[in-house]
Amino acid sequence: MSSSSSNSSGPLLGLSSAVTEGESFNMQPPSEPSRRNWIIACGAVGAGAAAAVAVPLLGSMAPSEKARSAGAPVEVDIADIPAGGVRIVEWRGKPVWIVRRTPEMLQGLEALNSQLADPNSDRADYPVPAYAKNVHRSIKPELLVTVGICTHLGCSPVSKFETGEPSGIAVDWPGGFFCPCHGSTFDIAGRVFANKPAPDNLEVPRHMYLSDSRIVIGQDEQGEA
C-alpha cells in the first residue's frame, strides 16, 4: 500500500460504479437550493509512519431527476460491497451509507451502551423501524443502512473505522463516525456518544431486502417512507 496521500472528488450523479479510497463522506447541504447533488470527497486514511487502512467507497448511480423529486424508493445493488466497505447513494437529496461491517467491527457494540446517549434508539425525533431496534441497528447484523447527516446541524460525518490511537480520535476509540463540524462521535451502528452536540443517533431509513444482493431504500413491508 502506498504511503502517500491522495484526494479525489466528483459529483455522485453520473457515476455508475466508481470505486475510490478514503474516509470522508462530505456533501453539499441537502437544503441548498442552488444544487441538488452532493459531492463525495475521498481522503487518504492515516498519516506519518503509521500504516494506513483505506475504506473502499463505492458510488452508485443516483435515481432519475423525476424519481428524486418525488422521493421515490431507491434500489441498490449491494453484492460488490466488500467487508469494511461503504456504498453511498442518494435518496430524497440525502446521502445514504450502506456499510458492510466485519465481525470485528460488530463485536464490541453491546459493551458501549453505557457510553451512548440513546443506546436503544428510543428517542422519537428520529424513529427507528422496528426491525432496526437492536444493537446493530439493522436487519442483517453486517449491513448498516443509515443517512449520513449529523443530527446536530446537518454536517456530514467522516468514517473513522480504525480503532484506538491510529484513528486520531482517542486511544480507546472503538471505530465509527466522527463529525468534524462540532465533534460529535457515533459508533459503528450510528449511535451517538453521550455529552456530544448531536442530540440523536443517525437516521435509519425504511428499507428492505429484495434479495441477498439487492435492497430498496425508502420502502419496507409497511409501504413507502
Q: Would you name the residues annotated as active-site residues?
A: 182
pLDDT at 67: 55
Residues 6-53: pLDDT tens digits?
333 332 333 233 222 334 343 333 444 333 343 333 332 333 223 334
Q: Do 76 and 217 form a contact (C-beta atoms < 8 A)?
A: yes
- What average pLDDT does range 148-167 have in this prediction? 90
CB of 141 within 8 A of CB of 109?
Answer: no
On whether the CB atoms of residues 106 and 141 are closer than 8 A, the answer is yes
Residue-wise pLDDT for 114-131, tens only, equals: 999 999 999 888 789 999
Is the pTM higher than 0.75? The answer reads: no
- Over residues 73-85, the pLDDT tens digits come to 999 999 999 999 9
- Mean pLDDT over 98-105 rounds to 95
What does pLDDT average to over the chain?
76
- Can you tell me the mean pLDDT for 142-171? 91
Spatial distance between the Cα atoms of 41 and 39, rounded to a whole number of angstroms? 6
Q: Are strands 56-59 and 86-91 parallel, antiparallel or unpaired?
A: parallel
Indicate whether 5 pLDDT > 90: no
Cα–Cα–Cα angle for 131, 136, 139, rounded to 5 degrees:
35
**Grid cell listed for 187:** 459508533
